[in-house]
């Protein structure tokens, strides 16, 4: 079965080794975590919804902005690759800003929710209803009381505490529709992989304002917050303009696929506006990249590889989890050997020892090729961002690991806007100032035991 599925060679080899070493346990893990993807029903309905959007809103035909892209730019090479798979073409007439402080993020969200008139839709991997997040949920309740259509979609595992809390009944009693995304259970795991997760983080209000980025609905300053989330460092984007329609489409599709009343909800898709919006204060060129196992290709992975190989000056990668495969390592080291400034910004410690050591197993090769590796020391750096040549950025929910590339539902925003990228460069600079650069000679002196542990974890890296 593993051989006939024609998975990447490294993934197939990893599963064969696990099953050979632990036949019974390995087979159990493969059945529940290695074989199935999304259910056929979900995949079929997903294709139906995609076709609906492309027909109703002509998303697949909105290619006018492609003609406005500088033909020799990096983005000109990348944009068609994105639109072929998603139907989301580049969009002008947008305003974009980044927020990094939790208080600023919650204040902005509260203000937008309080002004909502028609709809307030939220989709998050983790919701923990304490502190500032409780204030946001109360604002959603108030909006529902005003007649606003309020819906919350949260990952079944990532938001397990939320679904066990009294908030669920309170929200539903207040008119807020709440759904579990990618529900889990023994019977369900026979038709769907149990570890497929909805890792998206987005909010859409009145289809006028949207948020997306690495920020989960967690207040790290709350006294009851877990130690592993108390020091998270995140970025979220606040968006206005035409790009909001793309995010609304992603939410509606995900909500429909996870809704208990999918057939009844299908009519709600027609609530989306048909017309392009007027340009807002700025004219940012943006393009949405949803990715996940329901898509034919590993789109965000292919986009990043194409961007790395076509980069001419610099590549900055910020990610909490770095477990690359051979192709990604080749793309990054090739850029460094071509003389580009390639910098990898990682947290000095993460909550997964397996992912940490699997990623570290590749540090030597990266350092020898000229890649700069810096370790952020002021908390758990949770931002996911890639900036190339200072002219093209990717910010969203995707980590640099196989889980984000192949298994999770993710969303990333491609940004071709010099004004925003210049402003965001200060965030990168701040991260670098709070990081320690890894020394190549010192790294080569780590103990044999550490090297052995790294190489063992590397064998299962394709499964992470």
Q: Note the pTM of the prediction, 2 decimals.
A: 0.89
Question: Active-site residue 65, yes or no?
Answer: no
Amino acid 270: pLDDT? 47
Amino acid 172: pLDDT? 98
Domain 299-463 falls under CATH 3.30.870.10: yes
Q: Which one from 156, 384, 401, 417 is the annotated catalytic residue?
A: 384
Question: Active-site residue 37, yes or no?
Answer: no
Q: Is residue 129 helix, strand or coil?
A: coil
DSSP state of 207: T
Q: Which one from 199, 219, 254, 258 is the annotated catalytic residue?
A: 199
Mean pLDDT of the chain: 86
Same fold, 40-70+93-286 and 299-463: yes
Q: Which one from 112, 155, 156, 206 is the annotated catalytic residue?
A: 206
Per the CB < 8 A criterion, the answer to whether 225 and 149 are in contact is: no
State the average pLDDT over residues 107-125. 97
* Three-class secondary structure assignment of 283-309: CCEEEEEEECCCCCCCHHHHHHHHHHH
Domain range annotation of the chain: 1-35, 40-70+93-286, 299-463
Question: Active-site residue 389, yes or no?
Answer: yes
Question: Active-site residue 439, yes or no?
Answer: no
Q: What order do you get walking across the sheet with 149-155 strand by strand? A: 94-99, 236-241, 209-213, 202-205, 119-124, 149-155, 177-181
Question: Active-site residue 156, yes or no?
Answer: no
pLDDT tens across 412-452, in order?
999 999 999 999 999 999 999 999 999 999 999 999 999 99
Q: Which one from 258, 389, 401, 417 is the annotated catalytic residue?
A: 389
Question: Active-site residue 199, yes or no?
Answer: yes
Amino acid 278: pLDDT? 45
Query: What are the structure tokens assigned to 88, written together?
Result: 């989301």
pLDDT tens across 55-83, in order?
655 554 555 666 678 888 999 999 989 88
Q: Which CATH number fits domain 40-70+93-286: 3.40.50.10470, 3.30.870.10, 3.40.640.10, 3.10.129.10?
A: 3.30.870.10
The confidence band for 267, taking pLDDT boundaries of 50, 70 and 90, is very low
**Lowest-confidence region among 77-91, 239-253, 423-437:** 77-91
Q: Which one from 201, 219, 253, 325 is the annotated catalytic residue?
A: 201
As a whole number of angstroms, the distance between CA 54 and CA 66 comes to: 17
């Amino acid at each position: 079965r593993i051989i006939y599925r024609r998975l990447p060679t490294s993934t197939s080899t990893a599963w064969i080794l696990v099953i050979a070493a632990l036949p019974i346990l390995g087979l159990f893990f493969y059945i529940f975590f290695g074989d199935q993807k999304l259910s056929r029903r979900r995949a079929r309905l997903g294709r139906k919804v995609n076709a609906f959007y492309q027909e109703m809103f002509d998303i697949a035909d909105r290619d006018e902005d492609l003609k406005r892209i500088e033909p020799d730019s990096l983005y000109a090479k990348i944009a068609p690759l994105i639109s072929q798979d998603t139907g989301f073409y580049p969009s002008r007439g947008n305003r974009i800003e980044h927020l990094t402080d939790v208080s600023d993020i919650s204040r902005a969200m509260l203000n937008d929710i309080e002004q909502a008139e028609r709809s307030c839709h939220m989709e998050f991997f983790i919701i923990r209803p304490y502190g500032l997040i409780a204030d946001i949920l109360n604002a959603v309740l108030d909006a529902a009381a005003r007649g606003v259509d309020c819906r919350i979609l949260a990952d079944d595992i990532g938001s397990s505490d939320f679904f066990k809390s009294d908030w669920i009944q309170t929200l539903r009693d207040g008119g807020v529709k709440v759904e579990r995304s990618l529900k889990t259970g023994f019977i369900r795991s026979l038709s769907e992989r149990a570890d497929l997760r909805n890792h998206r983080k987005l909010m859409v209000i009145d289809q006028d304002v949207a948020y997306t980025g690495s920020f989960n609905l967690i207040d790290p300053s709350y006294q009851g917050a877990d130690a592993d989330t108390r020091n998270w460092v995140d970025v979220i984007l606040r968006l206005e303009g035409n790009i909001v329609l793309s995010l609304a489409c992603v939410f509606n599709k995900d909500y429909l696929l996870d809704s208990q009343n999918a057939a009844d909800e299908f009519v709600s898709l027609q609530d989306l506006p048909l017309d392009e919006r007027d340009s807002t204060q700025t004219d940012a060129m943006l393009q949405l990249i949803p990715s996940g196992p329901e898509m034919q290709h590993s789109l965000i992975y292919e986009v990043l590889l194409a961007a790395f190989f076509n980069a001419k000056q610099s590549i900055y990668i910020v990610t909490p989890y770095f477990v690359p495969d051979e192709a990604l390592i080749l793309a990054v080291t090739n850029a460094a050997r071509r003389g580009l400034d390639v910098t990898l910004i990682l947290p000095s410690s993460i909550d997964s020892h397996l992912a940490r050591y699997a990623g570290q197993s590749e540090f030597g090769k990266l350092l020898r090729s000229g890649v700069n590796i810096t370790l952020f020391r002021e908390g758990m750096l949770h931002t996911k961002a890639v900036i190339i040549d200072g002219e093209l950025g990717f910010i969203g929910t995707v980590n640099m690991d196989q889980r984000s590339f192949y298994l999770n539902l993710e969303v990333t925003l491609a940004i071709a806007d010099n004004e925003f990228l210049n402003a965001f460069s200060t965030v990168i600079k701040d991260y670098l100032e709070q990081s320690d650069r890894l020394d190549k000679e010192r790294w080569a002196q780590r103990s044999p035991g550490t090297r052995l542990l790294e190489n063992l974890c590397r064998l299962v890296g394709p499964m992470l």
